[in-house]
Amino acid sequence: MTRLKLLGGLAVLAFFWAASVGRADDKTDLQGAVKKLADSANYSWATTVEGGRGGPSDGKTENGGYTSFTINFQNEVYEVIMKGEKAAIKMDNRWLSQAEVRKAADDAGGFSPELIVTFRIAAFKTPAAQAKDIADKFTNLKKTDDGYTADLADETAKGLLTFRRPAGAGQDNFPPMTVKDAKGTLKLWVHDGAMTKMQIHLTGTRSFNDQDQPVDQTMTTEIKDVGKTKISVPDEAKKKLDAAIPG
């Protein structure tokens, strides 16, 4: 009987060891899929939002080069081109520097399109960079037929729900925000060892100006044209990038 109990105990230990090794391998594979996309020469993406105020947006990025993306706000689409931390923004059919957009936000006061654009630029990350941050810290990772699912760490979900105040922004036009009860899930699609699609579902409550705003939104980003993407930068945008102040 003692021998049977010993064998049974060893079998249980072997099961849990195999399960833990499997989870570790899955995490390594997921991170590898994100890295493969990040290491590609270039790629494009399209993002849709359900349950949120942001409309569809798209973007392109070159490894070590330019990144372009759109910001959708109140039925208007604003173009942004970045090089490193510098950005040029197309609003009202003309290219502006970050400093010019920030001044327009200060002059307008309150929640103007210029203010929202500065928020979005401050919070922007390419899909691969965003996925890397998420993949470094999550729980309940599960492998699926076409990728992986996981629960976001609470601090990660909170960060995704929080509007990041741009560096150097004045306090008056950027009221403090708190986020509570933040939760999130991740679904990642993988093909040929690379990330091809990402879906993030977030819930929680944003609070600012003494008002609570419940959030229940799903952001879906599809990757396309890997290795075939080209970014054309207008001369006027290049001039504004040269004059831009990172922030």
Q: Report pLDDT digits (tens) over 170-215.
A: 555 556 678 999 999 999 999 999 999 999 999 999 887 778 889 9
CB burial of residue 193 (10 Å; 0-12, 13-18, 19+): exposed
* Stated length of the chain: 247
What is the distance between the alpha carbons of residues 71 and 47, in angstroms, rounded to a whole number? Answer: 11
In sequence order, the 6+-apart residues with CB closer than 8 A to the CB of 93 are: none
Print pLDDT tens along the chain (247 aa): 565 555 455 554 444 444 444 455 899 999 999 999 999 999 999 999 998 767 789 999 999 999 999 998 888 899 999 999 899 999 999 999 989 998 998 888 777 889 889 888 988 999 999 999 998 888 999 999 999 999 999 999 999 988 766 655 555 555 667 899 999 999 999 999 999 999 999 999 988 777 888 999 999 999 999 999 999 999 999 999 987 655 4
Share of the chain above pLDDT 90, in %: 59
Residue 14, pLDDT score: 45
- Phi and psi at residue 3, to the nearest 5°: -65, -40
Residue 170, pLDDT score: 52
Q: Is 29-243 in CATH node 2.60.40.10?
A: no
Task: Mark out the alpha helices in 92-202 (DSSP H runs).
Answer: 98-108, 113-123, 127-135, 154-161
What is the distance between the alpha carbons of residues 237 and 96, in angstroms, rounded to a whole number? Answer: 8
* Residue 96: half-sphere exposure toward Cβ, Cα within 13 Å: 19
Q: What does the domain layout of the chain look like in residue ranges? A: 29-243
The helix or strand, by DSSP H or E, that contains position 93, with its residue range, turns out to be none
Residue 22, pLDDT score: 46
Distances (CA, A) of 223 to 72, 149, 194, 227: 19, 17, 10, 11
Residue 111, pLDDT score: 75
Whole-model pTM: value is 0.82
